[in-house]
Amino acid sequence: MKVLTLIRLIVMVIFLASLNTFNANAYEPWSNKPSYAINSTQQAARKVKAVVGGKVLKVRSIKINRDPGYKVKVLKDNGHVISVKINAKTGRILKE
């Protein structure tokens, strides 16, 4: 009787330990949210700053030919303000 109880306890501990290591956020086939190259305004700002340089003033979500994207306003080192569009799906930067 004690051996059977011990075996059940061991099996339960192993089962519970395996549940704890499963990462539910790693793969969500039921999620309707698509994964893009750029998924946030912060990512868009970082990418544009790395490519264009200067100081990011404003970032907003836009549509680019029906695709999601971002419009980033940047103050360049020479004092000029430029607007740059970035396609969220591809991560491609388009200067205005």
How far apart (Å, rounded) are the C-alpha atoms in residues 93 and 51? Answer: 9
Q: Nearest CA to 44 among 76, 78, 67, 73?
A: 73
Q: Tell me if 59 sits within 8 A of 71, measured CB to CB.
A: yes
Domain-located, residue 85: yes
| Domain around 85 | 36-95
Q: What is the pTM of this model?
A: 0.65
Domain assignment of residue 13, yes or no: no
Query: Could you tell me if residue 3 is inside a domain?
Result: no
Please report whether residue 91 resides in a domain.
yes
8-26 confidence digits (pLDDT tens): 888 777 776 666 555 555 5
DSSP secondary structure letter of residue 85: E
* Model pLDDT, residue 7: 84
pLDDT at 35 over 90: no
User: Which CATH number does the domain housing residue 58 bear?
Assistant: 3.10.450.40
Q: What distances in angstroms separate CA 29 from CA 24, 39, 78, 94, one per listed residue?
A: 10, 18, 47, 32
pLDDT band at 6 (very low <50, low <70, confident <90, very high): confident
Tens digits of residue pLDDT in 50-85: 999 999 999 999 999 999 999 999 999 999 999 999
